[in-house]
Structure 1
Amino acid sequence: MASENKFYPIKIGSALNDSTLKINHTCLRVKDPARTIDFYKKHFGMTVLGSKDFPDAKFSLHFLTFPKDNVGKTEKGETAIFSVSGVLELTHNWGSESDPEFKINNGNEEPYRGFGHICFSVANIEETCKRLESEGVSFKKRMSDGRQKNIAFALDPDGYWIELVQYIKDTEESPRKDVGDKFNHTMIRVKDAEKSLEFYQNVLGMKILRKTDHENAKFTLYFLGYEVPSGHNSSSAEGVLELTHNWGTENDPNFKYHNGNDKPQGYGHICVSCDDPALLCHEIEGKYGDKIQWGVKYNQGKMKNLAFIKDPDGYSIEVVPSYLTL
């Protein structure tokens, strides 16, 4: 990473020092929500925090998470879906479940690679994989496959990859016991690691939690996020973003990753929430001007109290209040 921020040269402002900033959710489009919700509930024990239909636009949103006891309430007494990390948003465009030709882009097939996977971390990966196989869950990679024997990749009904990792490790002081399954991270591939790291650190205030180089395969992984809760490590925390950089892509002027929102669609976005997103967006707009591309500026779209900002690869990041009402 460069010693100076040549892409986004600023000093961190008050909004980016906001302790309420968190990666709240990851949005995936799904073909059949009933099928997908049943999959995540049955095989992973996730629960539905809330759902909302949008009849005018003919789509629905469903928010799932692993059981947690720190979900707040909005002023209207509703579940504060955006107040916690580790949420999976499923977006269903009405009618796709009845279309035999409709297929989700899982982000891992050429020429539409970009989004890679979501990752669930567990206390005991061997027991989890054995149980999932006995339940008929399909795998892209079992632990016995390939070089990396400590991870696996399950497949959901739309073919999205679900990485499975173990958070109890000899190399980590904590956690040393089962603290429940966690929605640990979301992986996206990036063309220029330097540019992306400066964006996520300077514009959105994230920190590098961990970095691993894989020289034989010529790629580097960067794990970013906000604060890791006490008693957790970067594998057991929720709300982490993994950037995968395949070496050399930054030198190819014609190289481009698929952002998930262009056709064919699949991955939608990650969402950052905080108590004062209006201030955050105001600071970003004031400091960066036209260096930043917005999908929708805060409170200026059809749906209020949110914004969509785009990263250097064109991936979308939603920005919402922690206590937004659906």
Structure 2
Amino acid sequence: MKLIRKLDFEEAKFSLYFLAFDNPGAESAGRQWTDREGILELTHNYGTEDDDNYRVNNGNVEPHRDISITADHLERACGRLESNNVPFQKRLQEGRMENIAFALDPDGYWVGIIGQKRSDPASTSTNLDVYRFNRTALRVKDAEKSLQFYRSVLGMSLLRTIEQPEAGFNLYILGYRRGGEEEDSLVDREGLVELMWNYGTEKDEGFKYHNGNEEPQGFGHLCISVDDLDAACARFEDLKTNWKKRLTDGRMKNVAFILDPDNYWIELILLFSTFPLPPV
């Protein structure tokens, strides 16, 4: 990935780093940072790197989240990571699912590695120029409520359902639909959301997932960009959506946060927003 934007908040003592695949073969190469579907935002709170006791919730100690990257050649991509001494949570040959591996980043976040449709079995290397930041996966308590939210409130389409009854869970892959899109092309997409529902959790009144923003902090939020921020927020008000932060709250008047059924934060920003702050 490449660092395409950096925002510093000195008074609040944190910085934001926005990364994306930006090589010529990347899906959204060269586009303005709010006009991409595959952006990874890293938040650094000043001083945590000097605190030996500081830990983040990586979302899989109490399992519920990971991100996935698609690569042109699955075996070669994993071999490249191995040669760079990257640790793995799961290698290709481990477990029942041999079409995905999970590498670990420096904070223990899981990064799924998936092969693209264009994979060439005869290839002896992997081409980083065509990698994709494919999806973010979240575990949800109640599949029906979450699907209602992401489809009706956020306007996403359910692009694929994967049922795993023998393992007791379903996967629902959602995104903003494109004309003529076929299911097989999803591995070549960016910016998808994968909801994972374990059977029966919706019947347990006391069951909930850590939302990544309670202590210990970890995963923070998803983000969508909209064409008219005021109008979008008014629509969410009409839909009786739960809020973490309205536009009028706090010092930052150019972002808002709504809550999904599991209290995951969803940030709302204006498409083509420049954010009047120092760029990279």
TM-score, structure 1 as length reference: 0.77
Q: Distance in 2 between matches of 1:140 and 1:229?
A: 36
Q: Distance in 2 between matches of 1:155 and 1:199?
A: 30
1:104 aligns with 2:59: no
1:284 aligns with 2:236: yes
**How is 1:89-128 mapped onto 2 (pairs within 5 angstroms)?**
89-110=41-62, 113-114=63-64, 116-128=65-77
| Contact 1:299-1:306 at 8 Å conserved across structures | no
Q: Structure 1 residue 229: deviation in Å?
A: 7.1
Q: Structure 1 residue 230: deviation in Å?
A: 6.4
**Closer, same or farther: CA 230–86 of 1 in aligned 2, 3 Å:** farther
Q: Distance in 2 between matches of 1:81 and 1:299?
A: 24
1:82 aligns with 2:51: no
Q: Deviations over 1:250-278 (max 9, x none)?
A: 00111111100000110000100022122
Extract structure 1 runs of 4+ deviating beyond 3 A.
68-72, 228-232
Partner of 2:7: 52
**How is 1:266-277 mapped onto 2 (pairs within 5 angstroms)?**
266-277=218-229
Q: Distance in 2 between matches of 1:221 and 1:306?
A: 30
Partner of 1:245: 197
Q: Deviations over 1:135-190 (max 9, x none)?
A: 111100000000011110000000000001112179xxxxxxx7700000000100
Partner of 2:122: none
Q: Deviations over 1:85-137 (max 9, x none)?
A: 10100000000000000011101113xx43x1000011110110011101111
| Contact 2:223-2:269 at 8 Å conserved across structures | yes
Q: Distance in 2 between matches of 1:225 and 1:309?
A: 18
**Closer, same or farther: CA 302–117 of 1 in aligned 2, 3 Å:** same
1:264 aligns with 2:216: yes
Q: 167, 171, 175: which is aligned to 1:225?
A: 175
Q: Distance in 2 between matches of 1:300 and 1:263?
A: 22
Opposite residue 159 of structure 1, the aligned amino acid is G
**How is 1:116-155 mapped onto 2 (pairs within 5 angstroms)?**
116-155=65-104
Percent identical residues: 46
SS in 2 for 1:235: helix
**How is 1:131-210 mapped onto 2 (pairs within 5 angstroms)?**
131-168=80-117, 180-210=130-160
Q: Structure 1 residue 50: deviation in Å?
A: 0.9
Opposite residue 19 of structure 2, the aligned amino acid is L
The gaps in structure 2 that reach 5 residues or longer are 120-126, 276-280
The gaps in structure 1 that reach 5 residues or longer are 1-45, 73-79, 171-177
Q: CA RMSD in A?
A: 1.8
Q: Structure 1 residue 224: deviation in Å?
A: 0.5
Q: Distance in 2 between matches of 1:66 and 1:90?
A: 15
Partner of 2:123: none
Q: 6, 17, 20: which is aligned to 1:62?
A: 17
SS in 1 for 2:262: coil
